[in-house]
Chains A and B, each alone.
Chain A
């Protein structure tokens, strides 16, 4: 690995021994644009699904969109546009070797990201409170059970490293327990009609389910991107605090800002589609 060893100095581009710094910068940028292209297609498929199902269940979509609070949506749009603006300013500052400004602007973006997630949480909470779940609660509960037992299995797997149990045996035990727990959960929660009475009303199942399924799918995936972007911005902020960037080297700032703009870009389409026209 010695030939790919990276030596980092403040304000200087890391020395990557198999390519010069210009090539490293250009390929990093091309890489993030290629990744953004795949992201566009990922969300594009969901938008296409939205178009198809909206045509099939027009009334359900109209009812469903009325249940969303467009004021929350507008607030989140403004928050994201503002954070995108500060991210663009941060790149500009990095190109002029102003690490303090990079720190300041990305910090504002991070606060905006947190605000976005808080608004999203309030929104989701209100929806759950009204019983607007994306799917039958039975499926949801069994998914939680399966995830939990996989987590237990992973913990055992980790423990086996130190306690010396056979890893294969523990993996088999955790997978079998996941399947069994999942079936038990399905049996408990998916008693015919019971889930309708407790969580989802019959009316909801008939009218809104298809809309809320897509709503949760799209907004949750978007929120996941916000969380990942939050991590990226935090990483860059920590680097900026060490005066890592200069006009010679600002690749991480630019790449994470590009990712953050994509998060904004997707929300620009999600907001009118879900909250306004439905």
Chain B
């Protein structure tokens, strides 16, 4: 059916597997034993490593590296949509007052004082 010769990827897969394990332990280690000053920094770091692992899985385990452009399009399209959705949330969140926040009470006091 397919004319090209299938090359063996066993070695690549083993390396990728090792890398995935390594980054998993890095994530756990950083989250449990290294305390960043900022909470957001911890999340950012964890998500960065997770994204790197995800890219490894998609490119090599899922063979996306060897796929045709239309398959790339199928994968990139939902990712772009996700980024738009999450980006909207992250742009909106900082301008919201947290529930149970004292600022809210102070604000209402200010308003009633006027």
Contact = CB atoms under 8 A, between A and B. Distances in A.
Interface residues of A, number: 54
A272 B62 contact: no
Q: How would you classify the secondary structure of chain A's contact residues: helix, strand, loop or mixed?
A: helix
Contacts of A126: none
A157 to B, nearest CB: 38
A265 B57 contact: yes
Contacts, number: 133
B1 A248 contact: yes
Most chain A CB within 10 A, of B14, B31, B39, B62, is at B62
A36 B13 CA distance: 21
Interface in B57-111: 57-58, 60-63, 70-71, 74-75, 77-79, 81-82, 85-86, 89-90, 93, 96, 98-99
| B-side interface size class | 35 or more
A268 B57 contact: yes
Interface stretch (A70-78, A116-124, A162-170): A70-78
Contacts of B93: 51-52, 55
Contact of B61 (A13, A21, A84): A84
B9 interface: yes
Interface string A49-62: 00110011110000
Interface string A31-57: 001101110110011011001100111
Contacts of B98: 55-56, 58
A272 B47 contact: yes
Interface in B1-42: 1-2, 6, 8-10, 13-14, 16-17, 20-21, 24, 27-28, 31-32, 39, 42
Given A29-B71, A41-B78, 18 more contacts: A22-B1, A33-B71, A37-B77, A44-B78, A44-B81, A44-B86, A45-B85, A70-B32, A78-B21, A84-B57, A88-B60, A91-B63, A92-B6, A92-B13, A248-B1, A261-B58, A262-B62, A272-B47
